[in-house]
Chain A
Amino acid sequence: MLWVDKYRPKTLDKVTVHDQVAQNLRKLVSEQDCPHLLFYGPSGSGKKTLILALIKQMFGAGAEKVKMENKTWKIDTGTRTLEIELAMLSSAHHVEMNPSDAGFQDRYVVQEVIKEMAKNRPIDAKGKRAFKVLVLNEVDKLSREAQHSLRRTMEKYSASCRLILCCNSSSKVTEAVRSRCLNVRVNAPSEDQIVQVLEFIGKKENLQLPAGFAARIAAQSNRNLRRAILFFETCKVQQYPFTSNQAAPPLDWEQYVSEISTDILTEQSPKRLYAVRQKFYELLVNCIPPESILKKLLAELLKKLDADLKHEICHWAAHYEHKMRLGSKAIFHLEAFVAKFMSIYKEFLVASFG
């Protein structure tokens, strides 16, 4: 078992990083009922951990017995019948799934699947918890249509079903959905907190941590706790007793993106743009989300950029990130950003060095 799972706090009491949030959540569910919830925050900050702990708090150990199934949903759209296969994780009390995996058919999933699930109201003799919890991941990746039908579903079946939504950025969730939920912001843990967690794990695993080792991993993890723990474990596998200057291997795709940024900075021409496009294709083929590519690329470029240009470049990155969201072929927009960067940077070079 990966340490990420092994040391995941199972109950709200044991949550260390976001203990304040955890306390509030516990108070919330102690009142028998709870509203729909929307957890948002950067990845690796502990949203899922909180959700799982919350469900356990609500239903007790029964919620931990999950089974996984790959269910095929038959959806009648009127003109034809769609078959959508979707993985889901379910226990007696809750169901968890990732509707955005259904791609552009996500709205059918949201409409039909949730409806069906919500209809099957669990019967509890004691009348204690007569509702099911439905955990939806990556709500921000849902299409606009899907989010709209989500809104309707929420209203219609709110008696029998509680939704817990989970996403990275609440700005990509429509207002309508947001206002129907209690929004829970989960911050990225600070580096100190990450160091604490790593030291805790080190103690449990009986590892000797050299001074500054945990801090270095924490810095490398970019305030992403999951990544920090993964790095930590990687280091352990690579080499145990840790040497004082040991660092985790960089993520290969990030390294690749920084290569791209070097390419862009060394030459600005259509030919180079074409070469960059091929590299983007490599990344996209490996399923790296284009948003991550753009973000990482921007970070890499900003590192080496003159301060005067930073603002403008950020503006264009935001512009094309938005376009990417509107459009469907990410490569067009990624490339447009690179082209714009090249154009600005070249002009800058000519102006400053002649």
Chain B
Amino acid sequence: MGKRPPVVVLSSSSGEDDGGGRRGPSARRSRTPASAPARSQFQAASGSKKKPRRESSAGRGRRRCSEPAASDSLKAEFDMLSEDFSECFDDLGMSGSIRKTKELWVDKYTPRSLAELAVHKKKVEDVKKWLEEMLMAPKQTVGGWTLVLTGQTGVGKSATVKAIAADLGADLCEWTTPVPTLWAEHLHANSGLRYISKLEEFENFVEKIRKYAMLCPTSTKSKRKLIIILIDDIPVTSGNAAFARLGKCLTGLIQSTQVPTVISLTHYHKSESNDTAMWNSEDLESLLQGAGAHKIAFNPVTTNSIKKILIRICKEEIYDAPEELLHQIAISSGGDIRHAIMSLQYYCLDPRRHSSALATSATRAGSKRRDSLVPRQESYGLSSALPSPCGRDETLTLFHALGKFLHNKRETNCDFDIDLDPFPLKEKLRRNSLKMDVPEKILSQAHGKVRTVTDFLHENVLDFIDDEAVDDAWVVVSYLSEADCLLTGSLFTSYNSENMAQLIAASVAARGVLFGNAHVAPSRWHTIRSPKLWQTEQSFRSNKDQVLKERFDCSSSCVSCNFSDIVTEFRPLERWIGPRNDEPRSSLLPHGIGGSLLVDKLDADGSLDEEDDDEIEEC
């Protein structure tokens, strides 16, 4: 207990070989305020409170700590971790500048002036212009005081506002979420802690700033104080009721505020957010815009500007990072500058580390080069075994993945060396190698539901098959039919095997589509339709319910009949001999029905439906 082994970071720095794939340490650590001054304050504050724990936490051995260690064991652990982090700097004997500051570079290199921003000049200009206008605008105008910034994480939404505020010399009022009382705490602690939901707190806050805006004296005709309100942290709501409350609250704010207010909304990746039933950022966005807020959308930061920033940081840190490493980091960050800086700092910790990053990128490039000769599995194995240690997980939208499958891009040169191939295939079974990752990988990146993927493939694949190739159409459709059987079979089996069967079904569907479509239609623009199957099923269900209900109303004859008999025999003849043949019935004949039933507007799946018209390019 006394001698604490160096815990996380050290082990990962020494045992680089096994932990190369983990990008965890830097990212996880990012939340802990590891800067030295903050830590010592923290300890001082906590140390005074809880005396009895002193021994135990001291026993844990804060070796390097100068002040008497006294804190809650949990806090000690927290300190330990943050200390580890700083210790890591020391142990590695990095250049002096790092040791001195012990600060996250993300904090250290927060843009302080407009020039330092990595965001596109024009966007910054837009935001600045808006803010200037608002700050100059006369107080009495109602509405139009709100700006909504949208964009992915780490594209510099807040940073832009802060930098502009500093530039204009305006005060920035932020809503910092108060430390919450946990529900469990509220339940168990007999202390006077009261549970207030985040949403409630936010409402209170909004109420306050609205009042403040009213109070803010217009009488002081002298130079009025420049104030910008920044709302960065909108509470997460679940369920319609809570969302409606939040919406009401925000709408009220937008309509009544008389201080320039900036709301920054983070766009989550669609596929990431759809499984958790969280609030929909897009709903919120349209709501805010509906209420009269001005919107500026931020794009992901370009690779070049990330690189520029990284180079600048390296220069200031006197750290000599190879160009290729920076490039790699910039690309894999996916436009998230915060992540890029974090990765850079992580690499700068250990000079050995970046060599591995480069090695990975080299294998990647290598595998790309010799693709036509090597079977794809092998290159897949390589790239999956050594994922880029600094990258974010790549995600594809479902439509991107579908596009890949449907367009079915393959190498054109067929210089397959048949003699070398240990298992020569028949001519008609042979296909050129794919110009993409392995289908399973694409599927996992797109993480859509398997059912959805097969339905989409089924709906759209026929468009992509050459008009002469009916055989191909059969192969494709028969694979989809197999996939359907697999999916159905998996419904009742145990959880794990269900998962497996689902994966297999997805693989069968995707590969079937790729394999079967041997004669791809000449490429052109296609619209991906949403499966009509969903509509059909829904109206089938409602029709069936109706028929079953009617079975009750009409004469006793039908009651005992089978559903299929009613549909195939009684109903078609009902016009003439039905119990209600006197009144003109809107016939439900297949011919007559046309669109009328289908038009019933059935959103089978709202989240995907709106993307029906997503045109996909060849990708």
> Do they bind each other?
yes
- Using CB atoms and an 8 Å cutoff, list the residues of chain A in contact with chain B: 1-2, 4-5, 43-44, 48, 52, 68, 70, 87, 89, 96, 98, 100-101, 137-138, 145, 224, 226-227, 230-231, 233-234, 237-238, 249, 251-253, 256, 268-271, 273-274, 277-279, 281-289, 292, 320, 323, 326-329, 331-333, 335-336, 339-340, 342-343, 346-347
Contact present for A289 and B474 (CB under 8 Å): no
Given A269-B470, A270-B472, list of 14 further CB < 8 A pairs?
A43-B565, A48-B561, A68-B556, A101-B548, A224-B569, A253-B568, A253-B572, A256-B591, A285-B593, A289-B568, A323-B481, A336-B474, A340-B474, A343-B474
Whether A327 contacts B484 by the Cβ 8 Å rule is: yes
Measured CB to CB, the closest approach of chain B to A201, in angstroms, equals 13
**A-B pairs with lowest CB-CB distance, top 4:** A339-B474, A327-B484, A328-B488, A5-B557
Q: Which residues of chain A are near B482, meaning CB under 8 Å?
A: 323
Provide the B547-571 mask, 1 if CB < 8 A to any CB of A, else 0: 1100110011101111111011110
Chain B 461-515 residues near chain A, CB threshold 8 A: 462-463, 465-474, 477-478, 480-482, 484-485, 487-489, 491-492
Residues B465 and A270 in contact, CB atoms below 8 Å apart? yes
B240-248, B316-324, B532-540: which one contacts chain A? B532-540
Nearest CB of chain B from residue A293's CB, rounded to whole Å: 10
Given A237-B576, A287-B567, A326 contacting B560 (CB threshold 8 A): no
Closest B residue to A248 by beta carbon equals B573
Q: Is the CB of B590 within 8 A of A320?
A: no
Residues of B contacting A268 with CB < 8 Å? 470
Residue contact A43 to B477, C-beta cutoff 8 Å? no
Chain A positions within 8 Å of B559 at CB level: 68, 87, 89
Within 8 Å of chain A (Cβ to Cβ): is B589? yes
By a CB distance below 8 angstroms, the chain A residues around B543 are: 285-287
A268 to B488 CA separation, bound complex (whole angstroms): 30
Whether B469 lies near A270 (C-beta < 8 A) is yes
Identify A274's interface contact among B462, B540, B597, CB under 8 A.
Answer: B462
Residues of B within 8 A of A226 (CB): 565, 569
In angstroms, how far is the closest chain B Cβ from the Cβ of A30? 25
Q: Which residue in chain A gives the minimum CB-CB distance to B566?
A: A287
Is A286 in contact with B593, judged by CB distance below 8 angstroms?
yes
Of A289, A332, A335, chain B has the most CB atoms within 10 Å of the CB of A332
Min CB–CB distance A24 → chain B (angstroms)? 23
A333 to B474 Cα, complex, angstroms: 11
Cα(A101)–Cα(B548), bound, Å: 9
**Do A270 and B462 form a contact, CB below 8 Å, given A256-B591, A285-B536, A287-B547?**
yes
Pairwise interchain contact B544-A287, C-beta atoms closer than 8 A: yes
Which chain B positions have C-beta within 8 A of A343?
A: 470-471, 473-474
Q: Whole-angstrom distance between the alpha carbons of A282 and B567 in the complex?
A: 14
A331 touches B589 (CB 8 A): no
* B577 A331 Cβ-Cβ under 8 A: no
Query: A278: shortest Cβ distance to chain B, in Å?
Result: 8
Q: Are B560 and A48 in contact (CB under 8 A)?
A: yes
Q: How far is the CA of A253 from the CA of B473 in the complex (A)?
A: 26
8 A-B pairs with CB atoms under 8 Å apart are A1-B557, A2-B579, A43-B564, A230-B569, A269-B467, A270-B470, A333-B484, A335-B477
| A139: min CB distance to chain B, Å | 11
**In the complex, are the beta carbons of B560 and A256 less than 8 A apart?**
no
CB contacts (< 8 Å) of B474 on chain A: these are: 336, 339-340, 342-343
- In-complex Cβ contact of B477 among A70, A233, A332 (8 A): A332
Other-chain contact of B556, A5, A230, A285, A287 (Cβ < 8 Å): A5
B569 engages A251 (CB within 8 Å): yes
- A227-B477 contact given A234-B577, A333-B484, CB 8 Å threshold: no
A82 to B304, CA, bound (A): 57
Say whether B112 faces chain A, with CB atoms less than 8 Å apart: no
- Alpha-carbon distance A251/B567, docked complex (angstroms): 11
A-binding residues in B (CB < 8 A): 458, 462-463, 465-474, 477-478, 480-482, 484-485, 487-489, 491-492, 532-533, 536, 539-540, 543-544, 547-548, 551-552, 555-557, 559-565, 567-570, 572-573, 576-577, 579, 581, 588-591, 593, 597-598
Cβ-closest chain A residue relative to B539 = A285
- What residues of A have a CB within 8 angstroms of the CB of B557 in the complex? 1-2, 4-5
Q: Within 8 Å CB of B562, what residues of A?
A: 43, 98, 137-138
Contact yes or no, A253 B563, CB < 8 A: no
User: Which residues on B sit within 8 Å (CB–CB) of A43?
Assistant: 562, 564-565
Task: Say yes or no: B480 contacts A336, CB within 8 Å.
Answer: yes
Q: Are B593 and A336 in contact (CB under 8 A)?
A: no
Residues on B with C-beta less than 8 A from A271 are 462, 467
Q: Contact at A336–B569, with CB atoms within 8 Å? A: no
> If A270-B473, A342-B470, A343-B471 touch, does A323 touch B485 (CB 8 Å cutoff)?
yes
Interface contact A273-B470, CB-CB below 8 Å: yes
CB–CB A230/B577 < 8 A: yes
Separation in Å of the A336 CB from the closest CB of chain B? 4
- Asked if residues A87 and B552 are in contact (CB atoms below 8 Å), the reply is yes
Contacts of A227 in B (CB 8 A): 569
Q: Interface centre among A43, A230, A331, by most B CB within 10 Å?
A: A331
Measured between beta carbons, the chain A residues less than 8 angstroms from B492 are: 145
Q: When A231-B573, A286-B543, A326-B488 are in contact, do A292 and B590 touch as well, CB less than 8 Å?
A: no
**Distance A336 CA – B474 CA, assembled complex (angstroms):** 6
Distance between Cα atoms of A44 and B573 in the complex (Å): 15
> Assuming the A-B contacts A137-B562, A271-B462, A292-B564, are A329 and B484 also in contact, with contact meaning beta carbons closer than 8 angstroms in the complex?
yes
Contact across chains for A87 and B548 when beta carbons are under 8 A apart: yes
Report the separation of the CA atoms of residues A249 and B478 in the bound assembly, to the nearest whole angstrom. Answer: 36
Chain A's closest residue to B517 (CB) is: A270
Known: A328-B488, A336-B478. A253 touches B577 (CB 8 A): no
* Residues of B contacting A100 in the complex (Cβ-Cβ under 8 angstroms): 563
A96 to B561, CA, bound (A): 11
Please, which residues of chain B bring their CB within 8 A of the CB of A70? Answer: 552
CA distance A252 to B568 in the complex (A): 9
In Å, the complex CA distance between A253 and B471 comes to 28
Counting chain A CB atoms within 10 Å of each CB, the highest count among B471, B472, B572 belongs to B572
| B570 adjacent to A230 (CB under 8 Å) | yes
- Interface-central residue, A70, A270, A279, by most chain B CB under 10 Å: A270
In the complex, are the beta carbons of A328 and B478 less than 8 A apart? no
> In the complex, what's the smallest C-beta–C-beta distance from B394 to chain A, in angstroms?
31
Docked pose: A340 CA to B480 CA in angstroms: 13
Q: Which residues of A lie under 8 Å from residue B484 when comparing CB positions?
A: 323, 327-329, 332-333
Interchain CB contact under 8 A, A253 and B560: no
Q: Is the CB of A96 within 8 A of B560?
A: yes
Known A-B contacts A251-B572, A286-B593; the reply to A273 vs B462 at CB < 8 A is: yes
Complex contacts, A274 vs chain B, CB 8 Å: 462-463
Contact B588 A286 (CB under 8 A): yes
Contacts A270-B470, A340-B474 known; A288 to B548 CB distance under 8 Å? no
Chain A residues whose C-beta falls within 8 Å of the C-beta of B491 in the assembled complex: 328
Residues of A within 8 A of B552 (CB): 68, 70, 87
Bound together, the chains give a CA A335 to CA B562 distance in angstroms of 26
Whole-angstrom distance between the alpha carbons of A61 and B339 in the complex?
A: 82
Alpha-carbon separation in the docked complex, A221 to B108 (Å)? 86
The reply to whether A339 and B556 form a contact with Cβ atoms under 8 Å apart is: no
